[in-house]
């Protein structure tokens, strides 16, 4: 066994307004955990909040920073609150229930309230809910029993019944007023090139899983100190989450795959990918892609990008350049040998759609992504 290592205005006139900005010089970083938990994961949200408090009471340090949580929960008014260094909650804002937490309007309001209540030199963002990468339609569910349960993908989040969801482009617009030191997706399937490329100018680092992530999600009691280190140690946070599942010996364990993306190289990765596509390179006729999803969950959309690109019969120099940039982009990747029954031996940490026919670009909203417009569409021009 390997030990997990720790790291060094409201919508209603009747609701309270955020407190005046703090003048303390000690506040260096504010981390917002945006928990869209008005869904079948609500109990897990409370467990994760308990983990945050547990970590703080057991010695995790905020180093003068502030931890804020936005929680939307079944039957409750959404609220923004702080968890202080003693693990105690302090309410900041309670919101009306007439607007979904997965609208641009509400998310922007929460971000604005965060900045008023806890101004800082730096900000970090943790996005908590369901997730399905770039997929932007309910039609990818193929199993009737799954569809009946209300599980249907639309990029990020699930709020209310029937579920309201958010496309990845809407997410990018909603959080664009802040530059985030990091964005950590505590949800499934968000480590795809389409998601990362959409958010590349909003943050330096993106952490997430290309596969499904077990409902326990991130071990917050191990990772809080990573987020509040002098320099955020997101690499260690990714490792901690992976080890949390790799070391698990009791209860159900479906495995884990976690990735850390350096967004500063994504424009170069886009150029290198486009160059290969423009060359007309194709894979062998018998090529089988490596899926990052179970058929039970979705029938298309996320495959291992590295495996696919290296299957293309492209000029060796183009491929060498692509691989060098990929290795600078995906700076950390850890997988157990299986994740939800998938063999991960062909995993390299970053998912991507494989599009063979241009007329299929409208399927599941792929043509709504910037990656399609800037990169993949060139393949068919």
**DSSP code for 127:** E
Q: Where are the domains of the chain?
A: 29-263, 267-380
The alpha carbon dihedral of 278, 281, 285, 286 has a sign of: negative
User: What CATH number was assigned to the domain covering residues 29-263?
Assistant: 3.40.50.11970
| CB burial string 292-319: b at 16+ within 10 A, e below | bbbeebbebbbbbbbbbbebbebeeebb
Residue 160 backbone class (left: φ over 0; alpha: ψ -120 to 50; beta: rest): left
CB atoms within 10 A of CB 176: 14
Q: What is the reported pTM?
A: 0.90
Point out which residues pair with 30 in neighbouring strands: 66, 123
DSSP letter string over 51-91? HHHHHHHTT---TT-EEEEEEE-TTS--EEEEE-TTS-EEE
pLDDT at residue 95 in the model: 98
Taking only the tens place, the pLDDT of each residue in 318-329 is 999 999 999 999
Q: What is the secondary structure of 251-296 as a DSSP string?
A: S-----EEEEEEGGGHHHHHHHHHHHHHTT--B-TT----BSS-TT
Identify the pLDDT of residue 363.
Answer: 82
pLDDT < 50: residue spans in the chain: 1-2, 9-27, 139-151
Q: Report cis status (omega within 30 of 0) of the bond before 257.
A: no
CA angle 257, 263, 269 (to 5 degrees): 90
Rounded to an integer, what distance in angstroms lies between the CA atom of residue 89 and that of residue 258? 30
Residues in the chain: 381
Q: Residue 186: exposed, middle, or buried by beta-carbon count in 10 A (0-12, 13-18, 19+)?
A: buried
Instruction: Decide if 364 contacts 136 (C-beta within 8 A).
Output: yes
Torsion of CA 353, 358, 362, 365, to 10 degrees: 20
Amino acid 4: pLDDT: 57
How many other C-beta atoms are found inside a 10 Å radius of the C-beta of residue 194?
28
Residue 113 C-beta-side C-alpha neighbours within 13 Å: 27
Instruction: State residue 16's pLDDT score.
Output: 33
Give the pLDDT score at 6: 60
């Amino acid at each position: 066994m390997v030990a997990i290592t720790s790291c060094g205005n409201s919508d209603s006139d009747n609701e309270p307004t955020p407190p005046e900005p703090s003048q303390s010089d000690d506040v260096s970083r504010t981390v917002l955990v945006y928990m869209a938990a008005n869904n079948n994961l609500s109990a897990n949200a409370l467990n994760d909040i308990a983990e945050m408090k547990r970590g703080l009471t057991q010695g995790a340090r905020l180093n003068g920073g502030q931890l804020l949580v936005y929680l939307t929960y079944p039957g409750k008014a959404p609220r923004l609150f702080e968890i202080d260094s003693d693990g105690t909650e302090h309410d900041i804002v309670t919101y009306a229930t007439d607007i979904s937490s997965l609208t641009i309007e509400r998310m922007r309001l929460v971000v604005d309230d965060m900045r008023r209540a806890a101004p800082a030199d730096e900000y970090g963002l943790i996005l908590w809910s369901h997730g399905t990468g770039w997929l932007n339609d309910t039609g990818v569910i193929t199993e009737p029993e799954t569809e009946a349960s209300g599980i249907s993908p639309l990029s990020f989040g699930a709020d209310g019944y029937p579920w309201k969801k958010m496309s990845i482009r809407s997410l990018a617009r909603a959080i664009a007023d802040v530059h985030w030191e990091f964005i950590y997706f505590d949800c499934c399937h968000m480590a795809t090139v389409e998601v990362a490329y959409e958010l590349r100018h909003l943050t330096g680092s993106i952490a997430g899983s290309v596969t499904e992530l077990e409902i326990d999600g991130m071990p917050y009691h191990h990772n809080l100190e990573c987020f509040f280190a002098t320099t955020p140690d997101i690499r260690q946070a990714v490792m901690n989450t992976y080890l949390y599942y790799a070391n698990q010996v009791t209860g159900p364990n479906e495995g884990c795959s976690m990735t850390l993306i350096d967004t500063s190289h994504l424009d170069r990765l886009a150029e290198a990918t486009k160059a290969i596509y423009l060359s007309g390179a194709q894979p062998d006729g018998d090529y089988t892609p490596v899926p990052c999803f179970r058929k039970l969950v979705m029938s298309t959309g996320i495959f291992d990008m590295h495996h696919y690109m290296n299957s293309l019969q492209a000029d060796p120099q183009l491929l060498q350049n692509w691989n060098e940039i990929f290795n600078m982009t995906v700076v950390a990747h850890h997988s157990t040998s299986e994740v939800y029954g998938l063999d991960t031996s062909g995993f390299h940490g970053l998912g991507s759609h494989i599009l063979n026919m241009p007329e299929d670009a409208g399927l599941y909203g792929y043509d709504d992504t910037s990656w399609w417009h800037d990169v993949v569409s060139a393949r068919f021009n």
